A = this chain, B = another copy of it.
Amino acid sequence: MAEKTWVRMVTAQTPTNIAVIKYWGKRDETLILPVNDSISVTLDPAHLCTTTTVAVSPSFDQDRMWLNGKEISLSGGRYQNCLREIRARACAVEDKEKGIKIAKKDWEKLHLHVASYNNFPTAAGLASSAAGFACLVFALAKLMNAKEDNSELSAIARQGSGSACRSLFGGFVKWIMGKAEDGSDSLAVQLVDEKHWDELVIIIAVVSSRQKETSSTTGMRDSVETSLLLQHRAKEVVPKRIKQMEEAIKNRDFGSFAQLSCADSNQFHAVCLDTCPPIFYMNDTSHRIISCVEKWNCSEGTPQVAYTFDAGPNAVLIAHNRKAATQLMQKLLFCFPPSSDADLNSYVIGDKSILKDAGIEDIKDVEALPPPPEIKDAQRCKGDVSYFICTKPGRGPALLSDESQALLHPETGLPK
């Protein structure tokens, strides 16, 4: 082993993802094995991603982690599972330039530092743990010179957070539930990459909420134990939907894609409601957003926008194309204008060009928007939406080679 002063670092960026056929229910709590397959779309990391720097050094005396600048414990089972699995796959590393030489067996004794940062609010309920565990596993694999491909890595990330396995790829991704008792075949595969269906536009409505939500881990467990509909969904409904959704994605059939996405989101929330005690993730604002989309889709005769909601009140709206997204933005801003003290620049974030296409430059343009004709007595609910994020389907994990983007100091291995 080389002298004690070196620090080897890797920095990676991993996207978050949103399921269009939902994962809800584990058949194995420890290995995180699901009761059904799921399919997701990866979101553009430019707007929603986790950046993680992992470092190893003989000078580190324990594993440590910082999330958004704050040190957190790595002692939880989920972190430990990921660290153990990755360490088992570590290979020898040699960097002659820096005088680093790590033998395969050394990895068991070396300690790690991890720093992770989300470019979006963690509290917003936007699947930060999915991007987080995917990024941790991906970065560690590169640091440790593991030879596994992204599907194999996804089976490790899965043990941190189930949906994390789907963040190992861009575009549309399927998490195959698998059959093996040890979970080795429960992993993610890419269905199509992000270029396959690149006209889709995604608008996320981050919804204000008074209520503290049930964590998805707890909620899922309660649903498995008490819902009399969950197993029927997992065994009878989802397998058919998975096939139909794969077809819809392959053929870029937006009508089927929207119908399946909306139905599956609603059925997942139905199972939550069928749980004892019942779980409510959507609130009145979520319901109004659904109603707004349903009325528009109905009036057009063919779906313009799909909606899907995870374990929280935020709406993820997938528009067929830029034109539909522009109209959607106008309708949403009519129904959910910013509260009086908000400025438009922080109310619509991400890809602001949608706003420009919609002819909205300042708050006066929002006020002047006409009511959507398909909604009778459309009300304007100020403050019910915290902000909107405009984005699109995006790529999978990437290494950031520019050391200036690292979150740890190259010499101390401590947060910058």
Chain A positions near chain B (C-beta within 8 angstroms): 210-211, 226, 228-229, 232-233, 236-237, 259, 262-263, 266-267, 269-271, 273-278, 280, 283-284, 287-288, 290-291, 294, 298, 379
Contact = CB atoms under 8 A, between A and B. Distances in A.
Contacts of A210: 284, 379
A278 B266 CA distance: 7
14 contacts: A210-B284, A226-B263, A228-B233, A228-B263, A229-B229, A229-B232, A229-B233, A262-B277, A266-B273, A277-B294, A277-B298, A280-B287, A280-B290, A284-B284
Given A228-B263, A262-B277, 8 more contacts: A211-B288, A229-B233, A263-B276, A266-B273, A269-B273, A277-B290, A277-B298, A283-B284
A273 B265 CA distance: 10
Nearest to A266: B278
A263 B223 CA distance: 12
Contacts of A229: 229, 232-233, 237, 267, 270
A290 B278 CA distance: 8
Given A229-B229, A229-B232, A379-B210, A266 B274 contact: yes
The 6 closest A-B pairs by CB, nearest first: A270-B270, A270-B274, A277-B294, A270-B273, A266-B278, A232-B232
A268 to B, nearest CB: 9
A273 B273 contact: yes
Contacts of A233: 228-229
Contacts of A236: 228, 232
Nearest to A274: B270
A265 to B, nearest CB: 9
Nearest to A298: B277
Contacts of A266: 273-276, 278
A233 to B, nearest CB: 7
Nearest to A237: B228
**Which of A233, A259, A280 has the most chain B CB atoms inside 10 A of its CB?**
A280
Nearest to A277: B294
**Which of A237, A267, A298 has the most chain B CB atoms inside 10 A of its CB?**
A267
B276 A262 contact: yes
Contacts of A267: 228-229, 273-274
